[in-house]
Structure 1
Amino acid sequence: MGIIQQILGTVLISYLGVTMGIMYTWPSSTFLLFASPNTTLNRPMTSTELSLLGSLSSIATLIITPFTSSVIDYLGRKKSFLLLGVNQVLTWTILASCDRVEAVLASMFISGCSGCMMLVIPMYISEICKESIRGSMTSAAVISLGIGMMLSYIFGGYLEYHVMNYTCLSLSVLGVVLLMMVKESPLFLLQKGFEKEALRSLAFYRGEKITSKEVIEELETIKRTLNVALDEQTPEEEKLKADLDKPREKLSRWAFLKKSKSSRRALLVVIMLYTAAIFQGLVVVQVFAEPLFTEATPTISATLSSVLMALLSTLAGFVGAYLIERYGRRHLMIYASSATGACCVVLGVQIQVGFGPSWLTTVLLYVYCVSYTLGAGVVPYVINAEVFLPEIKSFASMICMEWAFLCNFVVLFIFNPLVTAVGLGIIFYMFAAFCFLSSVFCWFFLPETKGLAVDVIQQSFVNKCYK
């Protein structure tokens, strides 16, 4: 019961991921235009400005993310979404109304302030969905990004520059309107002491009456996860030993993380997952898609190649959402990363040696994109939404996303100079190395979280039972 409501909530929130995906890959369709003497701006961009065009949003996300945890915990999930949606509207308003290089770069910086929605979207979805569909629904955040990127490539390839900007502005305004329909997370409401409102929200997403046994039992389960005590080892062991009548000490988030060994291990694992995922390189291919396809396969339309890549990413996201519930997070990450690494090696050889026709490069890029999306493109976001206790969920997730966007900025900023220095083929060998290292790390350190409650997942980090 309630599956329809949970899917509806997921779709409404994931629409923000679509608009973010459009903004995220918008530079790809404008690089050549902005560098051209016939640019729509007041002057052509320099090479440094073009590098900033692709990476400034990551800088902004780095700056804003440390504040995200406090905003989410103070305003709640729904109001945070609305704030991020308004930020997107502001970004497109600037792009639609200004033609100065400085204004475009400023808008890219402002757009990065909504980058932290990839922290809030999976968190919210994991809080409204049952364990049985939590993984596949959380994957919707990645799928929505793929849909947004596909739309961005289509708009950039087939719409006039100003028409594209006004279209994107309209889609962002629609997103803010749709957010009005979303109900607040029951976990957040319970954290703030609004038990009746939490009960109504939970009843809605379970398709039951507020007096039903299922809803009341689940509300009690959430309460228990919000009242975990700690000792020198783990929150789970202390939970078993604690005297239920004894008042619990209210710890700060840093103190909680310091005392909880399982939470620290979970944090380290998620950080490593994001690092591995970003340095597997798809972020570069997405942001620099059109110039990359132009260089790799000059005989094939770069716009068409980019659109097909985004379409395959979206379809792979749906397949990944199915596989992550069918086979689990751990094995999917291990095998998909290995396949991505093998593809990167072959792709590097093809780019360097050219052992096949030029269209083979495009095919290999597509295979690379699909295998990446099945593993590194989905699993880290799902794991991040599942492994942390409510007391530090937003805080720990914020740390992970801060690190992820730092890695994003580094990869995007150094890509063009690195291609000039060592060549595109060598770059893919580097990506392959990170792919294989990802598989090894996940084999030894990533526990399976499929269908498990957060306290059980935390215990698996203590027991080191990963198979």
Structure 2
Amino acid sequence: MDIQNERRRLLDADGGNDDPSGLMSEQDAYLSKVKNKKLYLATFASVLGPMSFGFVLGYSSPAIPELTSIDDPRLRLDGDQASWFGSIVTIGAALGGLLGGWMVEKIGRKLSLMFCSLPYVFGFTIIIAAQNVWMLYAGRMLTGLASGVTSLVVPLYISEMAHERVRGTLGSCVQLMVVLGIMGVYLAGLFLDWRWLAICCSIPPTLLMVCMCFMPETPRFLLSKGKRREAEEALRFLRGPDAPIEYECARIEDACDEMGSSFQLSDLTDPGVYKPLAIGAMLMVFQQMTGINAIMFYAENIFEQAHFKESDLASVIVGAIQVVFTAVAALIMDKAGRKVLLIISGVAMALSTTAFGIYFYMTAHHNPASGEPQTNLAWLALASTGVFITGFALGWGPIPWLVMSEIFPVKVRGFASAVCVLTNWSMAFLITKTFQNMMVSLTSAGTFWLFSFMCFINVVFTMIFVPETKGKTLEQIEATFRGTSGP
């Protein structure tokens, strides 16, 4: 059906609204007939993947103390092995990002999500059955691979399913489920040993595969492959029986026709491709350069200095802060907008890492002869931790992943998302492995002041280059980068 005819039919059905802007009238007419119940159901099924991802990230925290003191010498980890047990996940995730970029284009978003549950389950099974350190490494590598695929596929799946009024909220649920998974494994680690904990971690990916069997492929992927009938069925499932889905189908088809059907390297010269790709990759670089891994590394020591003697409980508290404020971000994302939250988040983290630098500088120059206890400054570190984690959860935690899923044209979404995921995990590995060297060469205070400077650069970058995507369709966002008006 021609999109113009469908627009006229929608406006007539909406009472003949003759708003001169036209575009908002037809979108409002369409969205007024949309039912979100099954969209929320599909989102819930898909975010079992990020929950599994969170279980993987959090697993090392309660498991490493046990594995470094275990009686069995074949499984006992020394300091270097424990470091690799924690960080090898990032290597697997970087590879998973590349694999996920290929999979989403070849087999689609839904099947990619279903298949990524297999290395989760196999990886945790290998850890459960581990007889030596190398089996532990192999299990972590497999779960890292699945995490990389998940971090690419789930944001794409949600953004391509959701309409513009709820896309920010639903997209933010990805990070919310990651931090819920981290907190969940911290809590479970208080009561379970490392093998039983691995068994628990294999439950969400198993549910993911089962639930996704009943969910649709994304309409945009189906239309990009010329499968109009299947796309209409998917939209009818996601939007409800009363929504005039022909309008959305026509709009997406127009955008697909304008951009072409398949990605070529020559497309990298197109502003509609290289501009969002550069923005997406830089968002991933800046996310890691905020110092999030460093703060999490120091969290237990900071809580101990503030007289929280139970380090396990400290981890749960950190996880709870992340969950609460990531949930707040999800609730306000489609009202406040991406850009405002990124700026607020960056300012909060710049201030907190500056305070961290002051804390380390003052403790390093503490004079024992003065008789003042060094722990008097623990309040500053504790407050800085709370402000930093709150700021990260509000903006730079969820939003880079959300924006990545929104700004790329459909034909380059797999390739460009793979570049972003590879960039993110490569930076995570680089900063994690070089952090101790930075602390020696720059001092602790200098390292955190460097993070503060990077947070300031984040804010400037956001203000100048990052577009506001709140309330826009994916096709309108594409048109913005091409310098044309959207459909």
TM-score tier, shorter chain, comes to 0.7 to 0.9
Question: Displacement of 1:303 after TM fit?
Answer: 1.1
Partner of 2:93: 61
Q: Give the deviation of 1:411 after TM superposition.
A: 1.3
Q: Is the aligned partner of 1:201 residue 2:234?
A: yes
Query: Any stretches of 5+ residues in structure 2 without a counterpart?
Result: 1-33, 364-373
- Which position in structure 2 is the counterpart of 1:233? none
Identity %: 23
Pairing partner for 1:156 from 189, 192, 204: 189
Task: State the one-letter code of the partner of 2:309.
Answer: I
Measure how far apart 1:277 and its partner are: 0.8
Cross-structure match for 1:10 = 43
Is it true that 1:48 corresponds to 2:80 in the alignment?
Answer: yes
What is the deviation of 1:28?
1.7
CA contact (8 A) 2:302 2:378 kept: no
Return the alpha-carbon distance in structure 2 between the equivalents of residues 204 and 379 of structure 1: 27
Matching of residue 216 in structure 1 with residue 246 in structure 2 = yes
Residues 159/373 of structure 1: CA separation in 2 closer, same or farther (3 Å cut) = same
Inter-partner Cα distance in structure 2 for 1:174 and 1:40: 33
Distance 2:426 2:403 in 1: 19
* DSSP-derived class of the 1:132 partner: coil
What SS does structure 2 have at the residue aligned with 1:320?
helix
Q: SS state of the match for residue 165, structure 2?
A: helix
- Aligned to 2:215, what secondary structure does the other structure show? coil
SS at match of 1:193: coil
Query: Does residue 342 of the first structure (1) align with residue 373 of the second (2)?
Result: no
Output one character per residue of 1:146-200: Cα deviation in whole Å (capped at 9) or x when no partner.
1001011112233222221222223432332222232211112222222211111
Task: State the one-letter code of the partner of 1:222.
Answer: I
Structure of larger gyration radius: 2
Which shifted more, 66-75 or 355-364? Answer: 355-364
**Contact 1:129/1:137 (8 A) holds in 2:** yes
Structure 1 SS opposite 2:396: coil
CA distance 1:269–1:171, shift in 2 (3 Å): closer
Cα distance in structure 1, aligned partners of 2:450 and 2:305: 17
Task: Rate the CA distance shift 1:205–1:383 in 2: closer, same or farther, 3 A.
Answer: same
Aligned residue type for 2:168: G
CA shift for structure 1 position 462:
5.6
Would the aligned equivalents of 1:24 and 1:149 in 2 still touch at CA under 8 Å?
Answer: yes
Aligned partner (choices 253, 266, 270) of residue 255 of structure 1: 266
Q: CA deviation at 1:362?
A: 2.9
Q: Which of 270, 274, 282 lines up with 1:272 in the alignment?
A: 282
1:283 and 2:293 correspond: yes
Kindly report which structure 2 residues correspond to 1:121-136, keeping only aligned pairs within 5 A, or say none.
121-136=154-169
Q: Per-residue CA shift, 1:205-245, capped at 9, x if unaligned?
A: 10125xx5x2110011111121114xxxxxxxxxxxxxxxx
Report if aligned partners of 2:348, 2:391 keep a CA contact under 8 Å in 1. Answer: yes
Contact 1:253-1:395 at 8 Å conserved across structures: no
Instruction: Give the whole-Å Cα distance in 1 for the aligned partners of 2:223 and 2:433.
Output: 42
Distance 1:41 1:419 in 2: 32
Q: Which amino acid aligns with 2:135?
A: A
Quick one: structure 1 residues 23 and 296, their matched pair in 2 at CA, closer, same or farther if it must change by over 3 Å?
farther
Matched, 1:395 2:390: no
Return 415-424 or 123-132, whichever deviates more: 415-424
Deviation at 1:350, TM superposition (A): 2.4
- The letter for the 1-side match of 2:415 is F
1:439 matched residue in structure 2: 459
CA separation of 1:19 and 1:45: change in aligned 2, threshold 3 A: same
Residue 381 in 1 paired to residue 364 in 2?
no
1:342 CA displacement? 0.2
- Match for residue 244 of structure 1? none
Deviation of 1:29 (Å):
1.8
In structure 2, relative to structure 1, the CA distance for the partners of 1:283 and 1:3 (3 Å cut) is farther
Which residue number in structure 2 is paired with residue 228 of structure 1?
Answer: 258
Q: Shift of the alpha carbon at 1:299?
A: 4.3
User: CA 1:15 to 1:284, structure 2 compared with 1: closer, same or farther past 3 Å?
Assistant: farther
Return closer, same or farther for 1:184/1:460 CA change in 2, 3 Å cut-off: closer
- After superposing the two structures, state which structure 1 stretch, 45-54 or 199-208, moved more: 45-54
Measured at CA, do residues 296 and 58 of structure 1 come closer, stay the same or move farther in structure 2, by a change above 3 Å? Answer: farther
2:425 to 377, 401, 405: 405
CA contact (8 A) 2:339 2:467 kept: yes
Q: Match of 1:237?
A: none
Partner of 2:133: 101
CA contact under 8 A between 1:332 and 1:374: conserved in structure 2?
A: yes
**Could you tell me how far apart the structure 1 residues matched to 2:422 and 2:301 are?**
27
Q: Is the 8 A contact 1:293 1:306 kept in 2?
A: no
* TM-score, with structure 2 as normaliser: 0.84
**Residues 251 and 179 of structure 1, relative CA distance in 2, 3 Å threshold:** closer
Amino acid at match of 1:185: T
Instruction: State yes or no: 1:316 paired with 2:325.
Output: yes
What do the CA deviations read for 1:361-397 (whole angstroms, capped 9, x no partner)?
A: 3342122101111111121111111111111112111
Q: Which moved more, 1:14-23 or 1:159-168?
A: 159-168
Contact 1:13 1:121 in 2 (8 A): yes
Q: Distance in 1 between matches of 2:89 and 2:79?
A: 17
**Structure 2: distance between partners of 1:40 and 1:360:** 41
Return the alpha-carbon distance in structure 2 between the equivalents of residues 431 and 44 of structure 1.
34
- Cα distance in 1 for partners of 2:203, 2:480 equals 46
Single out whichever of 121-130 and 421-430 deviates more from structure 2. Answer: 421-430
| Alpha-carbon shift at residue 293 of structure 1 (Å) | 4.7
Query: Are 1:85 and 1:175, in contact at CA under 8 Å, matched by a contact in 2?
Result: yes
> Which of the numbers 313, 316, 320 marks the counterpart of 1:307?
316
Instruction: Give distance in 1, aligned partners of 2:123 and 2:318.
Output: 26
Q: 1:72: which partner in 2?
A: 104
- CA 1:201–1:345: 2 relative to 1, 3 Å: same
Q: Distance in 1 between matches of 2:262 and 2:209?
A: 36
Q: Cα RMSD over matched residues?
A: 2.3
Matches of residues 323-338 of structure 1 in structure 2 within 5 Å?
323-338=332-347
Mean CA deviation greater in 320-329 or 163-172: 163-172
Query: Which residue identity does 1:149 align to in structure 2?
Result: I
Native 8 Å contact 1:323 1:332 kept in 2: no
Preserved contact between residue 274 and residue 400 of structure 1 (Cα < 8 Å): yes
Is the 8 Å Cα contact of residues 33 and 40 (structure 1) preserved in structure 2?
no
Contact 1:278–1:407 (CA under 8 A) maintained in structure 2: yes
Q: 1:450 aligns with which of 447, 452, 470?
A: 470
Q: AA paired with 1:70?
A: W
Question: For structure 1, which runs of at least 5 residues remain unmatched after alignment?
Answer: 230-248
